[in-house]
Structure 1
């Protein structure tokens, strides 16, 4: 019998001991799935391990930490494909690749014109432990302000000739009972026009032991105690369905949110149908020390495909006069939806330096958007406006657009229409999402810009198709026509929630400013709660590339504070969030060229804000300030206008009354 030499035996024992020590790591595969942000402050770690002692399965899960503190505990990941066990419920990691990426791109429209896209990329390959041995890839990115991942099921025999995805089981298991700022929606066919509620994650599961069916729309902001702020969002949805969240635990200790995909309208329960490979939307977790850093994040745009429109010279952000909000009031103060009255709004736009005029519902037949009702002659109005250097947008009914898109858009291009406001989309299932992409592409082919209303939230489409200028999906100022939901409490919540994923057509500019106790809803010439300066500041606080000047022309006549609205841009080069607390107050600075603008608004609590101008480059500047007048708490229409010499050492003191605001234009001295 051959004897093993002592040295070889010792080496064998050493290797065996090393293998034994490493075997838990090999089993969990955690070492292969770790990804750090470029600044090493954020870590996302994908692993497979036996989490349930009753089962030998090794499901896929991830964890997230920020500056060494846990944000998300082990959160399961899998795809629920019809006719098979969830893909990801029992897998092993077979390979992983990590590489750094750093580039810069330009945006036609967005919160910034130039964006740095720096991240570390992970490609994680997995395979099922048992037959049929399906393969799964997780593609992940770690930015300095976010992590993101998506599922890719490569084309394989088990997905042929096609697949039906019932759901996506993506968990977000908070490390603590996070405080969320969440929009609760009634069903999958809403218009995302509900309030954002400040509630703990566990509040959504406390249903007396019954599993919660509450739907939460994205984005959802949350503060994880002692760890940081996060926001859950999504991007790049083409070919997929929109994601919602729910808390499935049914108990008071449940700190987990679970994904729910918007199902098809045919009651089949199927969310996504396809052939070949499965590629999900990006699941994004934006991260920061404070919520202002999340507002500044470009994660949604970074994770979206670059522009598919070769020539974008015709795409022009701008502000518009608008007939609908005031009730189509004319020069005589009476409503009139006529060509003559729309010319009155065009004249106002031209006089005020506004780029556009929007004609709202009523000019076309609902069921045939190629035929005019005879109330407003669009070709005549377009010709009249062109002579005054104003372009015209028109309102459309989404269900009819779905049927007549190509024919109608070709006609509008012939008329010379600049853009279309498409209303009552009310869906973001797979077919609904495809409608957004098809509309954007077809509109671009006919040189039409788009404003989606009655819609889902932004998901990055405006980078791929920069002719998409705006989305509604917000509890906006239109609510003042019917009730009290549009108020300063709502105004100060929106920048930290709805606005995180992109532009929003809130439609500010109401000049009949009143106190809370003076307010009552009316359809024509509506009132707005809060001060005049509050309305001015919203043009800076809110991102809207196609911005409404919502009141009727006579409301602005002789009002010196209207100068700020005339001057404020609709697109920006840079953003800085200076301070703020969700639902309480916010100060945002935005730059266009060499000029800076500041907008500050507060809820119903009066407060004084110290605003440092340290973001300015060296030099001397003039600040044109529109602030609440000394008596604005009693007379909300009163605005104090002043000028002040400032530099990057200046700290402005903004005194905001209840429901107040503060708006500043800063220009560099020559």
Structure 2
């Protein structure tokens, strides 16, 4: 494909310009997606600085936007303008890879392009502008290859922008400090209202204004670099990037790299015909580095019992809390329910007398008084249950060399690493080191108070899930986790990777009756919505938030809805979006083997919904349904038979409600 040169006003469709003025891109190359619906154009502006543009079906979704870094080499500025194109390489990339919890194999198809550019004037510096385009979206990144004269780079800013051709309706979560838990509520906002000084977490999801078409902006392939936030783009609709500095060095460049190439994360534009379709996208993982774990057959997705959320409720234990007797109640429950795991949360490790259970000066190689981890592991093994342990990341950083081999010898299945609160370059390096070392010791990992996913679960398959979401825990101290929030989260945070939201609250009350409490917390949704979250939200390690006494009666019989929790998988073979209204309702189907599970979420308003059955194969299907009952804690449990050609199932979902369904082929 030849270089495009501006002549007359041929390229003015990209932006709104008065009269016949110069277009923003004067020379460029284009790469098309396999289905030819998406195009990514990279070229140079009049001053020789790089620009990119993304189009879908011939229309701009990202107008010409800056692609640049502010860099210095040993204190001397490295100019990112007055560049010339020296070569362009086109190709394609077809991959098949396995990920626990996802369809195996995942198959990705990219058309690729690398534009080689260099400065016109001495000292000559070389850069690569890389592009990948699939049917799910487009991505760009900058590479500064190793070269004479550049061996120590400091990146002060990534000036890459995403310019929208017009204002857009978006869902965004704003933070007010660089150091935070990445937990917040995605709320509706116009792109033009995004604050120039804001810190908006990833992803940013926006409607394009063309039917149901929706885009999501995020990043992938993060290594040896700082993660980014978005900020408003000033007088241009869209966003710019803000790199995260080291909190101990807030005025230093966010990124310093010596003696290796500079490789930015992929700047990703996810695209879909409808907003619900984004939940099935694998684009973030497709762009990530391939697995670095030679043998991951030992990694096992699954559900877990968990003691923390309910306040360690165990009515049969006289002094329930951080002790063996309480943990054994949860292990016994996991065994009865067929859960492969029990998560022992903070409080199990030795700490100085009188110190908090979550302080980083605990010793995570020793037991607290009243806790005996080796005995609990043996007790759990006899019930076909394995144990996970909670650790503070600062403690683990100091004791990693001792703790991980010990946990492997004990038979610990995995670790939940908490209170990270950072996404700067230093903590990104910690992520890679931790996940690599954990894999060597056959330990799975769950990261909390962590940044949102950037594809690391593909690179390290033992990285099963992470937080980076305002989960069910917020019901203990706030009214923030509403049904509307749950629906909006399905359209945003849930589309970029696994999410340890920890659903399953069974003390269901209407919002007017809700009370904040840390022992036996309530939730402001129907029980059916709590069940549906296990289908809608992706997490190969899925914790049941509530206590055993919430799921069983005194005779250990499942209460209404708990039977669904016993049978719903944590890992899936296929995902399809069936419908929804942006931010108001969503219907998601996931397949395990020959069975399909469907989850339906609604916001604060009752909804009359149709579940299309065309996703089912030929023949008759037995359907089991768990839908909203007469009160928040009740379940309307039904079963019957359908055919895929039957059209749709009609569902009247309550306010703050939902539904969970299972379809099994009739042999």
Fold-level match, TM-score > 0.5?
yes
Query: Aligned partners of 1:34, 1:277: CA distance in 2, in Å?
Result: 25
Query: Aligned partners of 1:167, 1:648: CA distance in 2, in Å?
Result: 53
CA contact (8 A) 2:229 2:244 kept: yes
Structure 2 equivalent of residue 551 of structure 1: 546
The answer to whether residue 521 in structure 2 is matched with residue 526 in structure 1 is yes
Structure 1 equivalent of residue 591 of structure 2: 591
Structure 1 equivalent of residue 32 of structure 2: 36
SS in structure 1 at match of 2:68: strand
Structure 2 equivalent of residue 254 of structure 1: 236
The answer to whether residue 271 in structure 2 is matched with residue 287 in structure 1 is yes
1:618-660 per-residue CA deviation (whole Å, 9 max, x = no partner) reads: 121111110112x2xxx10111111110121231111110101
The answer to whether residue 146 in structure 2 is matched with residue 148 in structure 1 is no
Structure 2 equivalent of residue 601 of structure 1: 601
Structure 2 equivalent of residue 613 of structure 1: 613
The answer to whether residue 627 in structure 2 is matched with residue 637 in structure 1 is no
The answer to whether residue 184 in structure 2 is matched with residue 191 in structure 1 is no
SS in structure 2 at match of 1:369: strand
CA contact (8 A) 2:25 2:64 kept: no
The answer to whether residue 467 in structure 2 is matched with residue 464 in structure 1 is no
CA contact (8 A) 2:5 2:26 kept: no
Structure 1 equivalent of residue 399 of structure 2: 404
Structure 1 equivalent of residue 530 of structure 2: 535
Match of 1:237 among 219, 222, 237: 222
Structure 1 equivalent of residue 345 of structure 2: 360
Query: Aligned partners of 2:590, 2:229: CA distance in 1, in Å?
Result: 31
1:277-305 per-residue CA deviation (whole Å, 9 max, x = no partner) reads: 21111111001121122221111111112
1:239-265 per-residue CA deviation (whole Å, 9 max, x = no partner) reads: 11101111141xxx5313111111123
Structure 2 equivalent of residue 653 of structure 1: 650
Query: Aligned partners of 2:5, 2:424: CA distance in 1, in Å?
Result: 49
SS in structure 2 at match of 1:218: coil
The answer to whether residue 61 in structure 2 is matched with residue 71 in structure 1 is yes
Shift of 1:429: 0.5
CA contact (8 A) 1:505 1:547 kept: yes
The answer to whether residue 289 in structure 2 is matched with residue 305 in structure 1 is yes
Query: Aligned partners of 1:91, 1:109: CA distance in 2, in Å?
Result: 44
Query: Aligned partners of 2:57, 2:523: CA distance in 1, in Å?
Result: 43
1:464-483 aligned within 5 A: 464-483=459-478
Q: Would the alpha carbon gap of residues 390 and 97 (structure 1) be closer, same or farther in structure 2, given more than 3 Å must change?
A: same
Q: How many residue pairs are counted as aligned between the two chains?
A: 632
Match of 1:216 among 200, 209, 227: 200
The answer to whether residue 394 in structure 2 is matched with residue 389 in structure 1 is no
Structure 2 equivalent of residue 7 of structure 1: none
Structure 2 equivalent of residue 566 of structure 1: 566
Q: Would the alpha carbon gap of residues 317 and 21 (structure 1) be closer, same or farther in structure 2, given more than 3 Å must change?
A: closer
Gaps of 5+ in 2: 12-21, 352-359
Shift of 1:345: 0.4
Query: Aligned partners of 1:407, 1:306: CA distance in 2, in Å?
Result: 28
CA contact (8 A) 1:29 1:92 kept: no
The worse-fitting range, judged by mean Cα deviation, of 180-189 and 587-596 is: 180-189
Query: Aligned partners of 1:659, 1:628: CA distance in 2, in Å?
Result: 10
CA contact (8 A) 1:30 1:45 kept: no
Structure 2 equivalent of residue 9 of structure 1: none
Match of 2:149 among 151, 158, 178: 158
Shift of 1:144: 0.7
Gaps of 5+ in 1: 1-17, 51-56, 206-211
Query: Aligned partners of 1:283, 1:570: CA distance in 2, in Å?
Result: 29
Shift of 1:84: 4.4
Structure 2 equivalent of residue 626 of structure 1: 626
SS in structure 1 at match of 2:415: strand
Q: Would the alpha carbon gap of residues 86 and 494 (structure 1) be closer, same or farther in structure 2, given more than 3 Å must change?
A: farther
Shift of 1:179: 1.4
1:572-626 per-residue CA deviation (whole Å, 9 max, x = no partner) reads: 0100011122321110000011110000010110011110111111121111110
Query: Aligned partners of 1:244, 1:291: CA distance in 2, in Å?
Result: 22
The answer to whether residue 75 in structure 2 is matched with residue 88 in structure 1 is no
SS in structure 2 at match of 1:371: strand
TM-score normalized by the length of structure 1: 0.91
The worse-fitting range, judged by mean Cα deviation, of 339-348 and 73-82 is: 73-82
Q: Would the alpha carbon gap of residues 600 and 27 (structure 1) be closer, same or farther in structure 2, given more than 3 Å must change?
A: closer
The worse-fitting range, judged by mean Cα deviation, of 218-227 and 443-452 is: 218-227
TM-score normalized by the length of structure 2: 0.92
Shift of 1:525: 0.3
Query: Aligned partners of 2:95, 2:473: CA distance in 1, in Å?
Result: 40
Query: Aligned partners of 1:28, 1:626: CA distance in 2, in Å?
Result: 55
Shift of 1:81: 0.6
Structure 2 equivalent of residue 490 of structure 1: 485
Cα RMSD for the two superposed structures: 2.0
Structure 2 equivalent of residue 336 of structure 1: 321
The answer to whether residue 47 in structure 2 is matched with residue 47 in structure 1 is no
Shift of 1:88: 2.9
Query: Aligned partners of 2:445, 2:68: CA distance in 1, in Å?
Result: 35
Query: Aligned partners of 2:645, 2:401: CA distance in 1, in Å?
Result: 55
Match of 1:348 among 310, 321, 333: 333
CA contact (8 A) 1:153 1:279 kept: yes
1:257-268 aligned within 5 A: 257-265=239-247, 266-268=249-251
CA contact (8 A) 2:192 2:237 kept: yes
Q: Would the alpha carbon gap of residues 19 and 399 (structure 1) be closer, same or farther in structure 2, given more than 3 Å must change?
A: closer
Shift of 1:222: 1.0
Structure 1 equivalent of residue 306 of structure 2: 322
SS in structure 2 at match of 1:410: helix
CA contact (8 A) 1:362 1:375 kept: no
SS in structure 2 at match of 1:343: helix
The worse-fitting range, judged by mean Cα deviation, of 150-159 and 483-492 is: 150-159
